[in-house]
Amino acid sequence: MMRSVEIETQRFRIAGEGFAISRGRRTHAEVVKVVLTEGGARGQGECVPYARYGESVESVSEQIRLIQQAIEQGLDRKGLLEAMPAGAARNAVDCALWDLEAKKAGKGAAKLAGLPSLTPVTTAYTLSVDTPEKMAGAAADAAERPLLKVKLAGAGDDERIAAVRENAPRATLIVDANEAWDESCFEINMAACTRAGVALIEQPLPAGKDRLLAEIERSVVICADESLHTSADLAGLKDRYDAVNIKLDKAGGLTEALTMARLARELEFKVMIGCMLGTSLAMAPSFLIAQTADFVDLDGPLLLAEDREPPIRFDGSLMHAPDPALWG
């Protein structure tokens, strides 16, 4: 039975003044959606192309079109791992295949993956990088959330961290430097994180330039993000990182992400499940990994002014399992 394949690029407006990290500010999330239809069943997946890895909605869409015929002829998830490299394009197709399989089988994706029933999880809520004064205000507005993720930018991060901690005294803090630290600010910013009781620091140094992490003693968990893409990278990170941030858009889908999570546990890493800035459809497959993650950062829909229907339900920072009508 032939499948039909639809590829669509979409834009979703980000709430407020947009979303800012060390590499710049955005006002819209740009995503690629894949819909597979077979025998009356319909499966869908979403990816978020990331310029840091040379991706765009155009390049990702073209990658999918290049294997569209194979998908139509019945390519499965195992074959997909061989047919496409890890990245956003493979993620959209892989997640659509999971959803299609769940719909055809009449059972949830969690059951197909051999997982127990899904339960709510607490996600981080992200504060964009800005001046210490503006970040203080954002922290005060979000102070009742239990877990805050603080975007940083390098120089001046010690003041940003202090401002957030002062205005959100009870929240657990994790910080994300997005590769922005260097030798000029590393020790100052690490000390600020220690003073503020930060629980985890994501990717303080650029990928490929992080040897310093193997030489320092620290009281804060350091997590690989840009330094990690697939399970093949994990063993080589043990000397520098205490935790790893698994993102489906880097891994190339839920299939590889499940393998990564299992191997990361075997290697005694703490596990974070993260996301690019996408809709509830992008978060839904990651919810399976979130069930056993030490840190969950799947707040993409909370940062958008518009989302899909039906959206994932959030009670504050408590994230519920996706409706099967959305995914899985």
pLDDT band at 221 (very low <50, low <70, confident <90, very high): very high
Question: Is 247 considered catalytic here?
Answer: yes
Helices (H), the chain: 57-66, 68-72, 77-83, 88-105, 109-112, 132-141, 157-167, 186-195, 248-251, 254-266, 280-290
Question: Is 151 considered catalytic here?
Answer: yes
Read off the pTM: 0.95
Bridge partners, residue 30, by sequence: 11
pLDDT at 20: 66
Residues 64 and 137 in one domain: no
Answer yes or no: is pLDDT of 182 > 80: yes
Residues ≥6 apart with Cβ < 8 Å to 264: 234, 244, 246, 271
pLDDT at 1: 65
Q: Which of 33, 149, 151, 270 is catalytic?
A: 151
Pairing of strands 318-319, 121-122: antiparallel
Answer yes or no: is pLDDT of 262 > 70: yes
> Which one-letter DSSP state was computed for residue 312?
P
| Ramachandran sector of residue 288 (left: φ over 0; alpha: ψ -120 to 50; beta: rest) | alpha
Q: Which of 33, 103, 149, 247 is catalytic?
A: 247
Q: What is the CATH number of the domain that holds 158?
A: 3.20.20.120
Buried b (16+ CB within 10 A) or exposed e, 193-222: beebebbbbbbbbeeeebeebeeeeeebbb
Q: Which of 106, 133, 161 is the last residue of a domain?
A: 106
Residue 326 belongs to a domain: no
Residues 83 and 129 in one domain: no
Region 187-206 average pLDDT: 97
Residue 114 belongs to a domain: no
Q: What is the CATH number of the domain that holds 94?
A: 3.30.390.10
Residues 175 and 258 in one domain: yes
Residue 278 belongs to a domain: yes
pLDDT at 36: 98
One-letter amino acid at 242 equals: D
Lowest mean pLDDT among 23-32, 185-194, 297-306: 23-32
Number of domains the chain contains: 2
Q: How does pLDDT run across 13-65, given as a tens digit for each residue?
A: 999 877 867 667 888 999 999 999 999 999 999 999 999 999 999 999 999 99
Residue 111 belongs to a domain: no
Q: How does pLDDT run across 114-137, given as a tens digit for each residue?
A: 999 999 999 999 999 999 999 999
* Rounded Cα–Cα distance for residues 146 and 274 (Å): 17
Write out the residue range of the structural domain in which residue 304 sits.
121-319
Answer yes or no: is pLDDT of 87 > 70: yes
Q: Which of 42, 74, 106 is the last residue of a domain?
A: 106
Residues 169 and 249 in one domain: yes
Residues 166 and 64 in one domain: no
